[in-house]
Structure 1
Amino acid sequence: MDVKLQALAATQDHVILRPQLLAAGYTDDEIARLRRHSQLTAVRRGAYVETRIWNGMDPAGRHRATARAVVMQLKVPAVPSHITAAVILGLPIWGVDLSVVHVTRTDLHSPRLEAGVMHHAAGLWDGDVCSVSGVVVTSPLRTALDVARSVPFEQGVVVADGALRRVGNDRKGLLEKWDVMRTWPGARGAGRVVAFADGGAESVGESRARVQFDRIGLPAPRLQPVITGPNGEIFRADFLFEEEVTIGEFDGRSKYLGNLGPDDDPADVLWREKQREDILRNLGFGVARLVWADLSRDAEVLARFSAAFRQAGRRRAARALH
């Protein structure tokens, strides 16, 4: 494509429509040639993305581009919603189906799946929509509830935690929106997500870890606690099990090595993290870590955190004897 069309596509999530190509002077034969030579990829009938860009997109990016094509081609008012809105809003997602684009329409009496687009029939009220790069989508809280009504609990929590984080952990607002939807399909499952969601979780991993803790019977931890060291140092942890005086950290190694500066030595960063952990242990805290792979190892995580709880208890008992 020429530079002007590339610039136009860049404003449309890299999507260019057949009518736009024709208006720029391309013919259908030229469009077909560009596709044959792997220069254009059809994301929907009559909607294209440059192949080099499409090949570099992750699944969420491809879903967003396809959703933009759907919005540009629909002849009826429709608002991207559910997991599609989550992708457009940039909310965290995990383990969800991105093969179908979801939109909500207020003019339908019943939902229907058509040409890879799920048309949901539902009302939209004040505060239920917002604009992202010129596209009107359901708002973060409405999106979280729609997702929670249609996916398993863990996937719903990931999105809901991210939505709450986006809006300042407005749990009251989330509950009020759910109350309006309490008789809708899937509302019971969404209610469980609403009760559990917490904007203090800062990543997909932390949200999934919270679900795992609940699943294996650990107490609910406090999120992002701030702990003061003996010399006034400030430490922030991912989780604090208060009664057990134990800190939980998710994916510590990648977290500390992922943001290395050009002059940082990985060994020094890990050494500082070890020192930090030693200080926390000396303060009487148990410390337990888990990484992404541990999220499917319930028995191992339960044993690891239970051991940390016992170790913290022994330290407190030893100090009491002295």
Structure 2
Amino acid sequence: MKAFLGSEAVAEGVVSRHRLGRYRRIYPDVYLPDDRPASSLRDRIDGAWLWSHRRGVIAGVAASARHGARWVDDDVVIEMLLCNGRPPSGVMTRNETFADDEVTVVRGIRVTTPARTAFDLGRHLPRGQALARMDALMRATPFAVERVRMLADRYPGARGLCQLRELLPLVDGGAASLKKSWLRLLLIDAGFPVPTTQIPVHINYHLFAMLDMGWEEFGVAAEYDGDQHRTDRREYVRGERRERKLPQLGWLKIKVIAEDRSDDVIARVYGALRSRGWRGTLTPRLHSRR
């Protein structure tokens, strides 16, 4: 059973007011069956929209998830375009202007279009998170960057436009996780050439590996190493065999883990590229903080 408005259910005779107490309330007047162990992201999105009496438009990270973007936790704040200054806990309302062509319907819920979702992500989130979330959205539902720029022109006074315009050229759906987006932005900000993502490595015309990011002309790659090896032995063994073979195929790979310091990562990548003939200089990018 999906989320429902208690007042509607009682008025329609679906449940009695007494029986309504057996259901679990997740927002004012919004209920779920009490036997569910926890509210899923879909439950919370549906419930937030019902709480708005179907007037709001789901936006931000929740909208990106509705469009298929991954790596969104169930407890993420549900953002909504709605004029309401007192949203319940777990919901954020934004009283912002939007046009009909910036709204679509996904599984029965009004949601910002991919372009409008990217427009909001790029403006409202901290810079690194903004790029990572736009990368994830692009990976799930490719959107036209030019369409996002058109929205920026449509709303010249909107907050966060400087950051959005700076990040749009860097959006890359090839980023395979939020942390990999973080690593790519770290390298770009340090002054390295923009790395290519999802670089295929072949052996005898057969795909052997897909590298996270790197510079193919120098045979240097950088990869963020997640926790898969801790939970999946088969993935760990496959990864180790891959690591041993890559140098034989001409690749020098820099592995990055969560505990690495940013300056150490930059130094290791710099040394690898210099050893392969790169003669550029590191000129850190200046970026908007507004």
* TM bucket normalised to smaller: 0.7 to 0.9
Instruction: Return the letter of the residue paired with 1:103.
Output: M
The structure-2 alpha-carbon separation of the partners of 1:193 and 1:113, relative to structure 1 and needing over 3 Å to count, comes to farther
Query: What is aligned with 1:147?
Result: 121
- Distance (Å, rounded) in 2 between the aligned partners of 1:241 and 1:94: 30
1:281 deviates by 0.9
1:152 deviates by 0.7
Deviates more, 1:192-201 or 1:22-31: 22-31
- Distance (Å, rounded) in 2 between the aligned partners of 1:24 and 1:76: 21
Aligned residues: 273
- Distance (Å, rounded) in 2 between the aligned partners of 1:119 and 1:208: 27
Higher relative contact order (CA 8 A, sep 6+): 2
Equivalent residues of 1:149, 1:185 under 8 A apart: yes
Look at both structures and tell me which one has the larger radius of gyration over its CA atoms: 1
Equivalent residues of 1:169, 1:199 under 8 A apart: no
- The one of 253, 258, 265 equivalent to 1:287 is 253
Query: What is aligned with 2:288?
Result: none
- Distance (Å, rounded) in 1 between the aligned partners of 2:237 and 2:79: 47
- Distance (Å, rounded) in 2 between the aligned partners of 1:144 and 1:168: 10
Equivalent residues of 1:216, 1:302 under 8 A apart: yes
- The one of 65, 80, 83 equivalent to 1:103 is 80
Query: What is aligned with 1:28?
Result: 17
Query: What is aligned with 2:283?
Result: none
2:201 is the counterpart of 1:227: yes
- The one of 148, 158, 165 equivalent to 1:174 is 148
Equivalent residues of 1:149, 1:189 under 8 A apart: yes
Instruction: Return the letter of the residue paired with 1:299.
Output: D
- Distance (Å, rounded) in 1 between the aligned partners of 2:140 and 2:150: 17
- Distance (Å, rounded) in 2 between the aligned partners of 1:238 and 1:50: 42
2:278 is the counterpart of 1:305: no
The structure-2 alpha-carbon separation of the partners of 1:220 and 1:82, relative to structure 1 and needing over 3 Å to count, comes to same
1:230-284: CA deviation from partner (whole Å, max 9, x where unpaired): x334232111224542112222661x787x6xxxxx36x5444333333321232
2:43 is the counterpart of 1:65: yes
Aligned identity (percent) is: 21
Task: Spell out the pairing of 1:124-203 with structure 2 (5 A cutoff).
Answer: 124-126=99-101, 128-168=102-142, 170-203=144-177
- Structure 2 gap ranges (5+): 279-290
2:68 is the counterpart of 1:79: no
Instruction: Return the letter of the residue paired with 1:87.
Output: A
- Structure 1 gap ranges (5+): 1-5, 10-14, 35-39, 106-110, 261-265, 315-322
The structure-2 alpha-carbon separation of the partners of 1:42 and 1:293, relative to structure 1 and needing over 3 Å to count, comes to farther
2:2 is the counterpart of 1:19: no
Equivalent residues of 1:94, 1:204 under 8 A apart: no
Equivalent residues of 2:198, 2:212 under 8 A apart: yes
1:298 deviates by 0.8
Instruction: Return the letter of the residue paired with 1:302.
Output: I
Query: What is aligned with 2:86?
Result: 114
- Distance (Å, rounded) in 1 between the aligned partners of 2:141 and 2:18: 49
- Distance (Å, rounded) in 1 between the aligned partners of 2:217 and 2:181: 21
Q: TM-score, normalised by structure 1?
A: 0.72
Instruction: Return the letter of the residue paired with 1:27.
Output: S
1:179 deviates by 3.3
- Distance (Å, rounded) in 1 between the aligned partners of 2:244 and 2:275: 14
- Distance (Å, rounded) in 1 between the aligned partners of 2:15 and 2:138: 46
- Distance (Å, rounded) in 2 between the aligned partners of 1:119 and 1:182: 17
**Aligned Cα root-mean-square deviation (Å):** 3.2
Instruction: Return the letter of the residue paired with 1:44.
Output: Y
1:268-305: CA deviation from partner (whole Å, max 9, x where unpaired): x54443333333212322111223444xx313322433
Query: What is aligned with 1:237?
Result: 211
- Distance (Å, rounded) in 1 between the aligned partners of 2:87 and 2:241: 57
2:87 is the counterpart of 1:123: no
2:34 is the counterpart of 1:46: no
